[in-house]
Amino acid sequence: MSNFNLADWALRHKSIIYFFIAMLFAIGTFSFMKIGRMEDPNFTIRTMVVAATWPGASPAQMSEQVTDKLEEKIRDLPGLDYTKSFTDGSKTVIYINLKENLPDEQVRAAWTEVRHMVNDEWPKLPSGVQGPIINDRFDDVYGTIYALTGEDYSYEEKRAYAEQIKRVLLTVPNVKRIDLKGVQQQTLYVEMDKDKLASYHISSESILNALKQQSSMAPAGMIDTDTNNVYLRVNGLFDSVESVREMPLQVNGQTLRLGDMATVRLDYGEPESPLFYFNGKPAIGIAVSMDPGANNIEFGKALQAKLDSYQGELPVGLQIDQVSNQPKVVDESISEFTRSLFEAIAIVLVVSFISLGVRSGLVVALTIPVVVATTFVGMYADGLDLHKVSLGALIISLGLLVDDAIIVVEMMTLKMEEGLDTHSAATFAYTSTAFPMLSGTLITCAGFLPIFLSEGSVAEFTHSLFIVVAMALLLSWFASVLVSPVLGSRLIRIKENHAETKAVRVQKAFLQRFEKFLHWAMGHRKIVLITTVVLFVVSLISVPLIKVEFFPASTRPEIMVSVQFPQSASLQYTKEQAETLDSLLSGDKRINHYSAHIGEGAPRFILTLDPEVERNNFMQYVIVANSLEDRNELYTELQETLNDTFPSALINMTFLQTGPPSKYPIMFRVSGPDTVKVKEIANEVKDVFKTYSDITDISEDWPDNTPTIQVQIDPAKARLMGVDSYSVATDLQGKISGVTVGQYYVGNQTIPMKFKLSGNEEHNMSVLQNIPIQTGSGAYVPLSQIATISLGNEDGIIWRRNMEPTITVHGNVPPTVMANSLANDLNKKLDTVRETLPAGYTIEVDGSAERSNIAMDNLKAPMPIMLCLIMTILMFQLKKIPLMLMALLTAPLGLIGVVLTMLLTNTPMGFMVVLGVISLSGMIIRNSIILIDQIELHRREGQSTYEAIISSTILRFRPIMLTALAAILGMVPLMSSAFWSPMAIAFSGGLLVATILTLIVLPIMYAVYYKAEPK
């Protein structure tokens, strides 16, 4: 680098430098306006869902005959991490989870392979299994949700208008997908009284066949002429309710209308489909998903403009309300972080002006917008979006990117005070500092490298941190050697014979005191080194005292209230309980609005939300408070009220999370081959849970057995009557729930037709024995004549993981309790239970604690690469192994300040803190390089080792402390952010203590190795 001086070139081509400054600033402004905006960074959810139904099957039969076969086939999928299945009644849902280290570009190919596997296995499943339903878009985020309400409008009328709105919104650019929520399936019921049917001496089967034939579409052929192909279209399919009523039937030689014999009505399906409510009113939800990489704020404006243009088409009484407004949340989040960015810039500028003076400070100040603007250009070119991680990374960079400029300005000022002209001072600053600064910059970047090289969804979530920091720091080095000399040559002036200011006198006095202390420390080397080692050991021992929190809760105003009733609860019962909860929430001034999902969970309106499985006994409320204070008050009140209001329900209240999702704060799973034994072990785990007073709502995801009615057909009697199990089951289905016999078509709606024999059998188990069953001769006999009826129990839900029965025991903790710390302590306590487990049975941590452990392991994997890279850079820069080791030994000094600061501020240890501690090591080593390089320079100039140590430390004290102070104060705006606060606090405390210790301990290590003594 001494052969080609970049500063010299820049000073001889100032116009080029000015041109690029202006151009980069303009392009950076353009990039900032065009770059995508999001609340959270994207990360790939490597989960796919396969579902199937088998009407009439028990959960055990479904699990053995369908779930087991599909899972076993899917187990051969390359890149598979684990499968998890949920069997509820005659329905199964299989979650296929890929390994976190599988590259993004291979995920789609994996889902295609799963489709092939399921299709290959499907013919081998029992007849009657319906499906498969495959969802390989499980990670779609519906950030914008609208509610269409109207008290005077039916569900079908609201659906029709919602469908129109959907088609209008699909024309908006970057709309990926739109789903309607709360839609009720219309059903055409053909109901006939069983006594009336008997009086006509006609079997229900003949009516079923007639309805099926009349509603089935069949090809009528094609006439191939010399010039055209002419298709034949046979009319006569049902196209209205009246056409069904008018269907003719031959009965005892007479032709009768179906409407004369049966009641034909169009109604909603029974039981109802999952329901959606907004502020207690029945509604149709319109959930909108956005294309990845689009600008969320501009997307929201485009949606609103399109809705405003359509509002005039809505009739009076229909109203559109916004349930979820992700673009608004993103706008507020980006505005908050942008404000923090400008605050950080202002703080760094103030530090520069106070410490360097107005002119020198102005040189540093003018390099900041150049670097920030160029960083925006790089982010836009690389496809990075603006979100809490990338903007936070930029704020972190601000305190670091001025370091090189400060060093160059300091060196230029020093040399100009010694009599050099501005050109010579600038070129000397480049010659003496450029390579050490570059090495320091590369090492600082290397400190963030494990984040970039780590695998998994958590690392993917923070992936942009390294890219933005590395980009900003490398650009800052180029700015310091190209822009700072040019600006410095114009702005820095040395006044001759000027009186010292008070600030200069204070600085000199402080340096004199520090020099005295340094001489004392050099004379008491053993005491200083032993004290430092003791402080480091104490810090290591104190680490377990720090509470652990993987990721903090979000500061968004939503409260998620999940309520699960006993497994046998019907959707109608759940709906009635929702009305009770509505009465508690309605009119509360602290609530902006709330929405309810009955029979299913809320859609994924934020990436860190895990959707719930659809089931009749479940409801989920999303309550949006007016402020954070209102949210916290509501949470406390509802926690007590809901437990009293719904004593038989399992209630889970949570805030939205800032990291990868976890349904409960405390989760442990029990797995093994035998279901009964797994349940026993799960009960032992629950007993351990109960020893912690902070854990509440202790339960498991495998509830008690649900009641069933067993109809045991007597084969001999059934054969005599001309019936079998299938015909009896079909007959019972027709009388109790109805049998689907066909479809009819209205517009784009396919409406099922159900035939049902009316009577008092529905919802009344006491009369089951007397239900008449039609025999082969057409006569009727009571069900009890051919079958034995008894009450029984069966597993209502079966959860499996990797094909083994698995029960997850979970519990809640108050918001003030660090769940991960408690989970880690609980995990140790469960070792006593693990010691007694039979072979093949396991108890494993689940949820957030498991994700934290996986993320930490993934983060450790690239650490050797980081260490090797730092050592390589140090060797090229310092060229001596002892000097390289000295610089490395200063890195752990940061832990002393980190532990002390976190304990004093009661800050929890989380993933972001660990990232901060790792990256802190690069900053500390960077300071060590600058100091060691200066000592070596002074020794080459002829100073004794002792003199070189003292003079270099005093000379580098100011720039090292200034850069550390700029980095620390630049973190201040992040300390108000729930996501960044722990890292900012830990980083600031660690850097402050490590910088002070480096300026004392490193000179002593150097003196000890080289046996430096004062003359």
Per-residue pLDDT at 761? 47
DSSP codes of every residue in 670-730: EE-S-HHHHHHHHHHHHHHHTT-TT-EEEEESS---EEEEEEEE-HHHHHHHT--HHHHHH
Which residue type, as a one-letter code, is found at position 552? P
Task: Mention every residue, 6+ apart, whose C-beta is less than 8 A from residue 850.
Answer: 667, 844
884 shares a domain with 768: no
d(CA 367, CA 363): 7
Residue 821 lies in a domain: no
Say yes or no: 772 and 893 in one domain.
Answer: no
Q: What's the CA angle centered on 330, arms 328 and 334, to 5 degrees?
A: 120
Q: Are residues 767 and 888 in the same domain?
A: no
Tracing tokens 């993981």 back to the chain, one arrives at 801
Strands 591-598 and 618-625: antiparallel
Count of domains in the chain?
A: 2
Query: Does residue 335 form part of some domain?
Result: no
Residue entry with tokens 């003359």: 1015
Is 901 found in the same domain as 777? Answer: no
Does residue 974 lie in a domain region?
Answer: yes
H runs (alpha helix) in 170-276: 194-199, 204-215, 241-245, 258-261
Give residue 562's pLDDT: 92
Is 884 part of any domain?
A: yes
Q: Is 15 within a domain? A: no
CB 936: neighbour CB atoms within 10 A?
18
Domain encompassing residue 753: 203-218+231-260+723-782
| Rounded (5°) CA angle 812-816-822 | 55
Which of 782, 810, 833 is the last residue before a domain boundary? Answer: 782
Question: Is residue 246 in some structural domain?
Answer: yes
Q: How many residues does the chain have?
A: 1015
Q: Are residues 777 and 884 in the same domain?
A: no
pLDDT in tens, 181-195: 999 988 888 888 777
* 888 and 995 housed in the same domain: yes
Tell me the pairing of strands 787-794 and 706-713: antiparallel
Token couple for 587: 């009119």
Give the CATH number for residue 744.
3.30.2090
Is residue 613 situated within a structural domain? no
The rounded distance, in Å, linking the Cα atoms of 244 and 247 is 5
The beta-strand segments (E) located in 208-340 are 222-224, 229-231, 248-251, 254-257, 263-268, 275-278, 281-290, 319-325
- Cα distance between residue 653 and residue 638, in whole Å: 9
Residues of the chain with pLDDT under 70: 1-3, 198, 495-504, 704, 759-766, 777-778, 1015
Supply the pLDDT for residue 681.
Answer: 94
CA dist., res. 739 & res. 734, Å (int)? 5
Task: With CA atoms as reference, report the closest residue to 203 among 253, 251, 248.
Answer: 251
**Is the bond into 838 cis (omega within 30 degrees of 0)?**
no
Alpha carbon 671 to chain centroid, angstroms: 26
pLDDT for 911 equals 82
Residue type at 148 in one-letter notation: L
8 Å CB contact between 901 and 990: yes
Residue 909 amino acid letter? M
Here the tokens at position 909 are 């240890």
Q: Find the helix or strand (DSSP H, E) in which 594 lies.
A: strand 591-598
Last residue of a domain, one of 733, 761, 782: 782
Is 594:279 a contact under the CB 8 Å cutoff?
yes
pLDDT recorded at residue 1? 43
**First-to-last CA distance in the chain?**
36
Residue 589 lies inside a defined structural domain of this protein: no
Alpha-carbon span 839 to 859, nearest angstrom: 32
Domain boundary among 743, 763, 782: 782
What pLDDT score does 495 carry? 66
* CATH classification at residue 908: 1.20.1640.10
Q: Which of 887, 901, 894 is nearest to 964 (CA)?
A: 894
